[in-house]
Chain A
Amino acid sequence: QKEVEQDPGPLSVPEGAIVSLNCTYSNSAFQYFMWYRQYSRKGPELLMYTYSSGNKEDGRFTAQVDKSSKYISLFIRDSQPSDSATYLCAIESQAGTALIFGKGTTLSVSS
């Protein structure tokens, strides 16, 4: 079992839809959870960074962590065509050094 599992999609939604992206992880010791967005032919850019269980909101984006079920989510409200990208969940390893990434979910928002 991989340490981080993420459904690669692709996911296609109309403009204005609410998008839900999810990952599960296997090691309950993981503490830091991140969502990155990666546009085609670009490096990943940090969207959200959370530490504890619960919700964190930033504009149209909400990150949710449920440590009891080892489940993390990213919600995008009022999705826009500019949100079309690959979304990667990432977890900081136990050693506090490298990030462990999911496979990424490719999202396409049509206008």
Chain B
Amino acid sequence: GAGVSQSPRYKVAKRGQDVALRCDPISGHVSLFWYQQALGQGPEFLTYFQNEAQLDKSGLPSDRFFAERPEGSVSTLKIQRTQQEDSAVYLCASRFGGEFDFGPGTRLTVT
């Protein structure tokens, strides 16, 4: 079966542009997580969904970041008015039981 998929894999945005990053979790996985991984760093938690409910958004760095999962499956992470410090890999993970399955990430470069 397919794992977690993310699109696009690479995104270049000019500073000030809005971007939308998509995550397709493994079918049936109730929990979905977004992480941000800066170069040379470990993943940092952004937000967490259980089905369509966003239970924790404490890791979102500013109100320019917004995530949604309206039907409890696909999730979108939106970043408004991108800044250079938003350049990072954005990882999505879905979870069944104790195990997290990560997608390949979207590498965002803000120029």
Contacts and interface: CB of A to CB of B under 8 A. Distances in A.
- Name the prevailing secondary structure of the B interface residues: strand
Interface of A: 4, 6, 8, 32, 36, 41-46, 49, 88, 95, 97-104
15 contacts: A4-B42, A41-B104, A41-B107, A43-B91, A88-B43, A95-B56, A97-B31, A97-B48, A98-B45, A98-B48, A98-B59, A99-B100, A103-B40, A103-B41, A104-B40
B100 A42 contact: no
A88 B93 CA distance: 15
A101 B44 contact: yes
A97 B104 contact: no
A42 B59 CA distance: 22
Contact of A43 (B41, B42, B105): B105
